[in-house]
Structure 1
Amino acid sequence: MIPDSLTQAQFDTVYNSLSLVIASQLFTAIFLILALPRVLPRYRQAMVIAAVVCGIAAYHYFRIFDSFKGAFVTDAVGGRGTYTQAEGVSFNEGYRYVDWLLTVPLLLVELIAVLALARRVQASLLRKLIPAATLMIVLGYPGEISSTDGARVLWGVLSTIPFLFILYVLFVELTRSLDRQPVAVRALISRLRILLLASWLVYPLAYALPVLGISGADAWVLKQGGYSLADIAAKAVYALIIYRIARLKSYEDDPAFAAVEGEPTEGSTTVSTPTAG
């Protein structure tokens, strides 16, 4: 439930959180595009998808930022005081769900893309993950905008079913592919799945705050901050790990490329040139 008013500290917290997400997503997307030549072509699709995810998130956070500034206004001199909801204007929570509807499936696609699995395996995983991710977001939205705890619980439970299925695929079925990955990236891929799980768990926790009896302006600010930090971890930080995996796999696939990039490959030796004297 959107609060009727925010203190200056509460307003600043949400304002700065949204600003932080915009900066992190926008500049991560720019970095990934500029870094494309630093990985082999077969891994660039994953990086492009990661850049697109961050770009979509940056755009929607611009919209969320504008919606927030329009929804809460103050008459205090210098704009420092209590902020109340503007008449006829409300904060649009739907922007987040539109963003997630686009970016959550793409997050899974970029993970599958960077693994460079056999086409048959990729197709099988995507057929399971993409519909489940879409269903998870679609089922969560009615509960987010509902005004009763009963409806929120119902839609939350329904949304949790595809969420658990996604975790099953990521942690059980995807594990089978790790043995086919270079040793250097196996630990990174495992940590990537943990990051995805940890960041995604923030969303249902924030979603459940009203049901747990935690409400009011402080709870709403906590939810906005939690969503913002989770989006940074699940998109910008996640994308940088995808980039690191793509780099390591590029070195493994092509020692000549690794040499050009100044990275030693496994088993390489450094030959010292004897000096006279």
Structure 2
Amino acid sequence: MENMENLFSYSSVQYDIINHVLVLGVGAMMSGLAYFIMTIKDSSPRYRLTSVISSVVMVSAALILFNQQQSWQHAFAWDGNKWNPSATTFSNGFRYVNWSIDVPMLLTQLLIVLGVSGAAFRRRWVGLVVAGILMIYTGYVGQFYETTDITKLLIWGAISTVFMIYICYIVGISIAETNVSMPPKAARLAKALFWLLVVAWTLYPIAYLIPWLSPTPNGMVARQILYTIADITSKVIYGVMLGQLATRLSAAEGYEPARESMKSVIYGRD
């Protein structure tokens, strides 16, 4: 996959920004991993799987972003003035490999924390996972055309976005249905989680469209920044908020370690 990043030469500033942003992504994922391991016992056993899943997501994302950062370093050579393309190519395709692992897990842990169970869980899980995989791989196909046929990039991107909207709709319904039985502060956190997901996931199609919106070196810098911000938001921050929701629900159900944990946070007790 020859992404548009490989068509340009970059100034020292442009090259370094992308390199540093990718390192930031790796650091954020490793920090998230440490957090999820340390807080795993704050939630009752019925919710604890969410911290385990978040930890797996962190490892998966960190490995891919590290691969991206190393690939970026080998894809360009310094000539004393600019960073020029080398014989090695940089590919965003590895991000799609990562998303195909992480998106199903992120959606699964949401259903677990929301307490969706039985036939409803199976139905929603299948719908979300299938839509998630289709969202990722239709976008993946479009990436192959970004340097040769921008119309096909836009068509496949539009198809991918339809699946994204469907996922957000199902997530919204699931949160709305379970909100009525949650304590007020937990319900507000669940709503905030939904809007975080919508905003973070919207960054992905914007980054996807950069080859159409801004086919320039600065555009490529913006794309890597957007992708990495979206990854950090939709994985690390999302996972932290979901873990906090699990802790709040555990406390409301009388789980003592969760009650103790809630005493130490700045927003007080439920």
Normalising to structure 1: TM-score of the pair? 0.89
Select between 140-149 and 169-178 the one with higher mean Cα deviation: 169-178
In structure 2, what is the equivalent of residue 149 of structure 1?
150
- Using the TM superposition, give the Cα deviation of residue 207 of structure 1 relative to its aligned residue in structure 2, in angstroms: 1.1
Alignment counterpart, residue 34 of structure 1, candidates 27, 33, 38? 38
In structure 2, what is the equivalent of residue 4 of structure 1?
8
Gaps of 5+ in 1: 267-277
In structure 2, what is the equivalent of residue 48 of structure 1?
52
Alignment of 1:1-277 (within 5 A): 1-2=4-5, 3-76=7-80, 81-86=81-86, 88-146=87-145, 147-212=148-213, 214-254=214-254, 256-258=256-258, 260-261=260-261, 263=263, 266=270
Structure 1 pair 256/200, CA: closer, same or farther in 2 (3 Å)? closer
Post-superposition CA distance 1:135-169 (Å, at most 9, x none):
00010011112121111112112212211211221
Q: Match for 2:30: what amino acid?
A: L
Q: Match for 2:219: what amino acid?
A: A
SS of match in other structure, 2:47: helix
Q: Give distance in 2, aligned partners of 1:202 and 1:176.
A: 27
Structure 1 contact 132–165 (Cα < 8 Å) conserved:
yes
Q: Match for 1:253: what amino acid?
A: E
Q: Give distance in 2, aligned partners of 1:144 and 1:110.
A: 29
Q: Give distance in 1, aligned partners of 2:10 and 2:161.
A: 31
SS of match in other structure, 2:46: helix
SS of match in other structure, 1:41: coil
- Using the TM superposition, give the Cα deviation of residue 255 of structure 1 relative to its aligned residue in structure 2, in angstroms: 5.3
SS of match in other structure, 2:84: strand
Structure 1 contact 132–163 (Cα < 8 Å) conserved:
yes
Post-superposition CA distance 1:60-88 (Å, at most 9, x none):
00110110001012143xxxx411111x2
- Using the TM superposition, give the Cα deviation of residue 119 of structure 1 relative to its aligned residue in structure 2, in angstroms: 2.6
Q: Give distance in 1, aligned partners of 2:175 and 2:239.
A: 18
Q: Give distance in 1, aligned partners of 2:120 and 2:269.
A: 28
Select between 257-266 and 164-173 the one with higher mean Cα deviation: 257-266
- Using the TM superposition, give the Cα deviation of residue 129 of structure 1 relative to its aligned residue in structure 2, in angstroms: 0.5
Q: Give distance in 2, aligned partners of 1:67 and 1:29.
A: 23
Structure 1 contact 108–129 (Cα < 8 Å) conserved:
yes
Normalising to structure 2: TM-score of the pair? 0.91
Higher radius of gyration, 1 or 2: 1
Q: Match for 2:152: what amino acid?
A: A
Structure 2 contact 44–255 (Cα < 8 Å) conserved:
no
Structure 1 pair 255/243, CA: closer, same or farther in 2 (3 Å)? closer
Select between 35-44 and 186-195 the one with higher mean Cα deviation: 35-44
Structure 1 pair 210/265, CA: closer, same or farther in 2 (3 Å)? closer
Post-superposition CA distance 1:161-201 (Å, at most 9, x none):
21121122122344112112232211111111101110110
Structure 1 contact 13–221 (Cα < 8 Å) conserved:
yes
Structure 1 contact 115–181 (Cα < 8 Å) conserved:
no
